[in-house]
Amino acid sequence: MSDIEIRTEGRAGRITLTRPKALNALTYDMCMEIERALDAWATDDAVSLVMIDAEGERAFCAGGDVAQIQRAGTNGDYESGRCFWRDEYRMNAKLAEYPKPIAAFLHGFVMGGGVGLAGHCPHRIVGESVQVAMPECGIGFVPDVGGSLLLARAPGRLGDHLGLTADRMGPGDALHAGFADHFVPEADWPALKARLVETGDPAEIDSARQAPPDSPLQAAQPEIDALYAAGTLPGITAALETAEGEVAARARKAIGRNSPLSMATTLEMLRRLRSEGGDIRAALRQEYRVAHRIMERGDFLEGVRAAIIDKDRSPSWRLGPEEATPEAVAALLAPLGEDELAL
């Protein structure tokens, strides 16, 4: 059975992920099939709208299939991972800049590569089961697939918090943080999808949307802004050490177990995007600089080993918090010359 179903129905080009047992994790072949469909539909007058969804109850897409990249990298093959990321990021850019409306229906886990697939679409619909997160710092990587741009644009210091801790967002949180646009109860999705197929008109979403659930992150926004005000890993760590309350306690625990180099690099990526008014292309180029080097110079291989391959949850990070210096971060983010991401 294929991992993805691509077809046209009525006025809609439809993309459905069909790997529910693997939480619809994106493979390289799936990314390439999606890109080919987008290219074909862009100039097809019969397709007015693109719709992206997924089978299964547990996940829209829980991320990219990084285990294969890790195995190749452990054997000295870094190019396989670089090729995956290079081509996936090109697809992410096409989604963000697509000339036709795209509606994505997000349920269950939406993480990493799933955010890249749906997070840049103009009509992001979440249901009550959604759990959105960018968990890359926990596997020795950085928020990628354009996720760094979404984090940089989140209110206040919320993006720093989400990037460093991988805190999960329910529907209200996803809307507040700018990772979603509309809340529609999942029981109403079949009827809405049918109308979109029939009309090809994204205005149908407006009649189906409802007021979202409350956002705990919005309520905690002042506290989060204060905790992350320093903007640097040492400063944030120091603030968390003396802070009280559940938000600080959870953040302290998450930051204590994630890769210091990945977290310090993430903060610098978000700072640059904010200060320079970066767009999707700037975000993806910056992310690819890290991706190109992360297997040789970062914690990706060890992080994926500990979390996904051996599952011992005991990674041995290359650098401690004090060693994840601005110089180490700058080395990961330096221009790649001829190897820069071409979009």
Q: Read off the CATH number of the domain in which 270 is found.
A: 3.90.226.10
How many independent structural domains does the chain possess? Answer: 1
Q: Quick one: 180 exposed, middle or buried, by C-beta within 10 A (0-12, 13-18, 19+)?
A: buried
Beta partners for residue 9, in sequence order: 12
**Residue 236: Cβ within 10 Å count:** 24
Check residue 98 and give its pLDDT.
98
Phi and psi for 166 in degrees, rounded to 5? Answer: 60, 30
Amino acid at 307: A
CA pair distance 208, 61, nearest whole angstrom:
23
Q: How many residues in the chain?
A: 343
CA pair distance 1, 320, nearest whole angstrom:
45
CA pair distance 152, 179, nearest whole angstrom:
11
pLDDT along the chain (343 residues), means of 10: 92 98 96 98 98 98 93 96 97 98 98 97 98 98 98 98 98 98 98 98 96 97 98 96 96 97 98 95 98 97 96 95 95 98 95
Transcribe 17-86 into DSSP letters. Answer: E--GGGTTPBPHHHHHHHHHHHHHHHT-TT--EEEEEESSSSEEE--B-HHHHHHHHHTT--HHHHHHHH
pTM strictly above 0.95: yes
Tell me the two tokens of residue 127.
């249901």
Domain extent, residue 144, equals 4-339
**DSSP strand pairing (4-9 vs 12-17):** antiparallel
